[in-house]
Structure 1
């Protein structure tokens, strides 16, 4: 193929006169410049290792320590208390010969200064780790902050004055603690009490007590041993057994999606939207590689969160195995993989060590769109292998993709920075059926046609024909907040920094000498084509069963909720409990994802949102037998309980990760626990997650109210349950994503969405009535002159 020859740096032939060598100086220049870029990255990484290695100090602080030591020695004082003299005695013989006595003293002083500097750094890092291990600030009541927390806040601000790199805090973050087994069991029993009858609860209590008195403490000892040895006692097992060992399809079951702006599409030109989006993503990758991103923090505080999940964001793929999948990550990649109308392309986004301009990438994308060549036999639906069951895909990969053209093409996809699908459909809210269009938009991002995405990639970007975009992310390498941070940056950079011309094209100039994108070549055997059809059938059945409903709730947002002095998340979670009770006539085990990134390599913990307090409020409100004042009291108790559960999960005192790890230990030891088996087999019929808005400095919602994010969603966890994702945008909007399965006659995403809206409205009406009566009673107790003022 013609484009293949352009990648050849030199050619040679053997003649009777000898070897005839023909050099391509342009190609060699490209190799040279790419090498320069690679070495610049290595130097940058080495520099960053030094900077973050001495954080919270700086490399220049060594100079101040050395000058201080030399100055005190010049004043005839020995700050080392004799250590400098001892160091001088142990200097190498060559230095004794080549240096004068004064020179030897100088070298000894510099060695002592370096040792003192390193000791101070270790002391500072130890102090920072102690400060980051303090979590009681989270449980302080508003307006009643203890003196200990006040001192802690002051010290944290002092340590946070220096601008850190992305990974500066990593070694100072505390390790996730192992909760006491008795504490976990008591919290577990409390969490399931509203879900069980008296006899069922007595049986569960008996199982828990038997587990604690027999097997529990033995398993706990192994877990504590792991916690002493490993950086995080949960994360590696969570990644391995929850994600990578799953043998079913990851499409719908694991992967999740993120949407574009709700009301705005920056350009209707598909190639231009792809050009800016790819550029924004590569700029984000550059910030990650250079560690220029500011570490994420707990909102409203200086408390850093673990950034380890950023390491595998780009150049990463999940490869299938018969027993378990493996995550593969490459240090760098100068290209992306593109899919369009059944063909795969490799698109180089760097040339001569330079990132192509958005306009140049648009030009290259347009060349792909204009390419009319047909797919190779079996190529069009090849991506279905990543959408179906994992074992058949692993077997096909092992047998037919280990050599030849198939291996080269598969490597181009797996080693790409990320995956791009140029979709030939139009999506978005606009049209004759806005609500239905949003639902179809969600389904398209979640699974597409089941073969036009590469679900194994860390994330895939979808660019639709009308310029709308979206994201599909694989779940094993990171959690949604990390991907949401990336996607927010991409959308903001695309719309507000890169921008478009009046005609909707990317800005910048085009180098017309750019080689065309490289078409990937496949040799798909009949056996592989047969398996592609089987995997597609499995994936299509799963996709057709998903019922997605997306709706923006505009009646009120966090602004009005906060005026009621209620946590917005607690308000929504209790509303979901009320909605589910009305929808199904009872309560269920509810999963709310909470982060544990206050700890090193932390991922998530479960907040069991269905508590005895929330169920008491729902029953009181629905029975109609309690007064409004009593309902408000019960609601506030439920809200406080939920907030406390969320804080405990964030600070390492959750329930489910501890029990999960105990279960893994029991399997390694070959022992069975009826209690753990029952706990781990309980279905989460209501699985919920909040998508955080993190990049407020990039999204100026006051001046650009139309540029609001739709957030993202995921498939249902249980066959007879709901998946609910929500994003609180600005002060007056909450976007919801609801999913369920058509095959379950008891669930309906649209019906449940209507129940959510009604529950939110009913609870707000209840609280607003209380606020009015409270203000009127206060007014009636005041003198008339005060009321007039």
Structure 2
């Protein structure tokens, strides 16, 4: 095989005339270029480490300080107050220097120490400034004088042209809330869900915990907070994600969709060529830390933690019998592509350069046209990553720890990311666009249960009709981090790289490129049996998932904001109303909020079902009246308060979770914590943020909108709801539940959400049409290009 010969740098044979040495100049060139690329990356990382390490100052500021100190010396003044003279006296090489040289060296050393002290002071000041969160609790549009001064100081101390990780050392640590505050807020959060008897019992358990064991656990937690960068994140990753032994497919992984109404090209290989090239352009900027640090949408001076970006590429989740691990490699110059049961290694760098989109398209088409059959047992190998974790861990150790299987598995796990070429057609299409979106969501979430590699940080799926999507593993990062990559990729693909008139990628092709290398496997019958068992578990889980995806276009955040209401609070209240009408009860509700204002922050829970929301929802009459309006406003304000508390480190659930982990380490039982952690989240919600709204123009280009993404249900008898607010006139919903539950139905719940949204708008804007008279608009189905 040609690719096998390409991998050999030299060969030699012993002949009667001596040793016949045959060297492959192409292979040696590749080795040289690969080494050069590796060293360039090391130099860039070293340079960025220096720049980030001295931020908010710059390396050039050191020269300014040195020149300033030397200039003052020539004016016969001593800004060091005698320290330069002290340094001069104790120079170890003073014997071999002139007096003037000693003075200059001493001044440089003093300047360096002064410079480092100034950097430390600036970083400490910036850290203290970023610890101020009172601005978040002020009324929208009304900024206090204190906050105005704070904003000015943050701008002064923030420096110029920050790299991606420049703010990491200046972000504050996540604070540990007081036990009494957490217990009080917890009891308040469960009051609308319990009758008087249950609430009285829970209150006694909480008071007993607060007065006894809680203080002891809190002491250990504060000790960890002093030592660790974040007292939550490492335990959250380990115990919530990596120690889970059930399948990560559906239960943990999530998905993201392509453009809703258009497909830039119907050619599968061309779509893959442009987007894969765009992914590697993003990775190049990520490695150079040239991506602009993400800040809050309400301000350009409040940075968010970027630590999760580090493991975006070249990362996989490795199964273990007790706990999984996340493995990350510094670099990888290839991807792994799955097509019709076969795995291919596709190098995207040739002679030290990134392949052009047209060349990647050419290589992908080679894979699509390859007639070779899968190896024995290879076709459904990916099912191991979709089933239970313990059988996968045992199989990996037994069948994939040596030989050809280990080499092929290493190739998959060390790849930049995973690509699946699907023979199906997906997207909004046909006579029933709603049903097609539902199928699209299920395909991205679980596929056929063996045609994705669910352990990879993310897998990109390309369908036969040109649509694509993404499936992501959850332990290494949260959705907003990958969402940024997904949005940048779509922008690059459509508006920067583009396609020619025939729908192919632009540019020329080097037809001498080595063919993608098909991976080899030797799967014994015992392993095939385990693959079948894992597939059966995964297939049962996938078949049980019901999805409903719909774009709501009757109104959006534009009309909601005109009523001076937070769009997120408005949607959460609609979900509470819809759930109550659907289930005739209230439930514990999870809304994800980020804590990336703090170093290594991830998420916190907003408990959206409150006493205030219950009081409003139970009115069951949403015509405009003074009392209804007052109850609604009160519920919205309470939700906003809870969201702000969660973002600023005063949430409930992560604190209680960490207290529970400490109790397990100490070997003590807490009836209160045990009951708290066992409560099911029957309504789990999350908003998919549109972070590059200035790049997507839904007014002039309404067809280029994305419906966002979604996830599977958290509880067996509950709903998972993901929503994405796009522009001023669209809200996309992704609803999931389990078909095996007789009391849940995604389509019925979707209809209740639509009705609830109209009812709440009617309450805010009584001049609008009655909900019953509002014609439910269906999205206009535009023909795919």
Q: Normalized against structure 2, the TM-score is what? A: 0.97
Quote the offset at 1:26 in angstroms. 1.6
Q: Does 1:705 align with 2:708?
A: no
Partner of 1:690: 687
Work out the CA distance in 1 between the residues paired with 2:565 and 2:621. 23
Q: Is the 8 A contact 2:573 2:636 kept in 1?
A: yes
Aligned residue pairs, count: 769
Matched residue of 1:429: which SS? coil
CA shift at 1:148, angstroms?
1.5
- Name the residue aligned to 1:274: 272
Task: Say which is worse superposed, 427-436 or 550-559, in terms of deviation.
Answer: 427-436
* CA–CA distance in structure 1, aligned partners of residues 569 and 408 of structure 2: 49
Q: CA deviation at 1:623?
A: 5.4
Measure, in 1, the Cα distance between the counterparts of 2:104 and 2:98: 10
Task: Report deviation, 1:159.
Answer: 2.8
Q: Which residue of 2 aligns with 1:742?
A: 739
After superposition, the Cα gap between the structure-2 partners of 1:324 and 1:508, relative to the gap in structure 1 and judged at 3 Å, is: same
Q: SS of 1:667's equivalent?
A: helix
**Conserved? CA contact 1:489–1:698, under 8 Å:** no
SS at match of 1:707: coil
- Give the structure 1 partner of residue 782 of structure 2: none
**SS of corresponding position for 2:216:** helix
CA contact (8 A) 1:438 1:549 kept: yes
- Whether 1:149 aligns to 2:147 is yes
Cα deviation digits, residues 721-765 of structure 1 (max 9, x gap)? 000000000000000000000000000000000000000011101
Distance 1:701 1:283 in 2: 25
Query: Map of 1:354-753 to 2, 5 A cutoff?
Result: 354-620=353-619, 622=620, 628-753=625-750
SS of equivalent to 1:769: coil
Offset, 1:353? 1.4
CA contact (8 A) 1:480 1:691 kept: yes
CA distance in 2, matches of 1:663, 1:156: 37
Conserved 8 A contact 2:126-2:158: no
The equivalent position to 1:754 in structure 2, one of 739, 751, 756, is 751
Distance 1:26 1:2, change over 3 A: closer
Query: Partners in 2 of 1:179 and 1:187 — Cα distance?
Result: 11
CA distance in 2, matches of 1:444, 1:592: 25
Q: 1:123 is paired with a residue of what secondary structure?
A: helix
Partner of 2:21: 21
Report the equivalent of 1:781.
none
Question: Which shifted more, 398-407 or 31-40?
Answer: 31-40
Q: Is the 8 A contact 2:125 2:157 kept in 1?
A: no
Q: For the residues of structure 2 that align with 1:531 and 1:40, how far apart are their CA atoms? A: 44
Cα shift at 1:161? 5.2
Query: 1:17 Cα deviation (Å)?
Result: 4.0
Kindly provide the CA deviation profile for residues 432-484 of structure 1, in whole angstroms up to 9, marking residues without a partner as x. Answer: 11000000000000000000000000000000000000000000000010011
Q: What residue in structure 2 maps to residue 316 of structure 1?
A: 315
Give the match for residue 31 of structure 2.
31
Residue of 280, 283, 293 corresponding to 1:285: 283
Task: Compute the displacement of 1:700 (Å).
Answer: 2.8
Residues of 2 paired with 1:457 and 1:18: CA distance? 50
Give 1:388 shift: 0.2
1:382-436 CA distances to partner (integer Å, 9 max, x unpaired)? 0000000000000000001011110010011000000000000000101111000
Q: What is the distance in 2 between the residues matched to 1:303 and 1:473?
A: 27
Residue 80 (structure 1) aligned with residue 80 (structure 2): yes
Question: Would you say the 8 A contact 1:96–1:104 is kept in 2?
Answer: no
Secondary structure of the corresponding residue to residue 56 of structure 1: coil
In the TM superposition, 1:150-299 aligns within 5 A as: 150-160=148-158, 162-299=160-297
| 1:53-72, Cα deviation, whole Å (9 max, x unpaired) | 11111111011101110111
Which segments of structure 1 move beyond 4 Å, counting only runs of 4 or more? none
List alignment gaps of at least 5 residues for structure 1.
773-789
* Partner Cα distance (1:378, 1:256) in 2: 27
Contact map agreement 2:342 2:378 (CA 8 A) in 1:
yes
- Structure 1 residues 282 and 195: alpha-carbon distance in aligned structure 2, compared to 1, 3 A threshold: same
Q: Give the conservation status (yes or no) of the 8 Å contact 1:632–1:770.
A: no
Aligned equivalent of 1:45: 45
Cα distance per residue 1:102-130 (max 9 Å; x no partner): 11111111111111111100010001101
**How many Å separate the matches in 2 of 1:738 and 1:668?**
37
**Once superposed, what is the RMSD of the aligned Cα atoms?**
1.3
SS in 2 for 1:705: coil
Shift of 1:221: 0.5
Deviation at 1:145, TM superposition (A): 2.5
SS at match of 1:317: strand
Shift of 1:771: 9.2
Q: Answer yes or no: is 1:306 the counterpart of 2:305.
A: yes
Work out the CA distance in 2 between the residues paired with 1:756 and 1:75: 76
For 1:352 and 1:666, locate their aligned partners in 2 and report how far apart those are by CA, in whole Å. 56
What is the TM-score when the length of structure 1 is the normalising length? 0.96
> Is the contact between residue 629 and residue 770 of structure 1 (CA under 8 Å) also seen in structure 2?
no
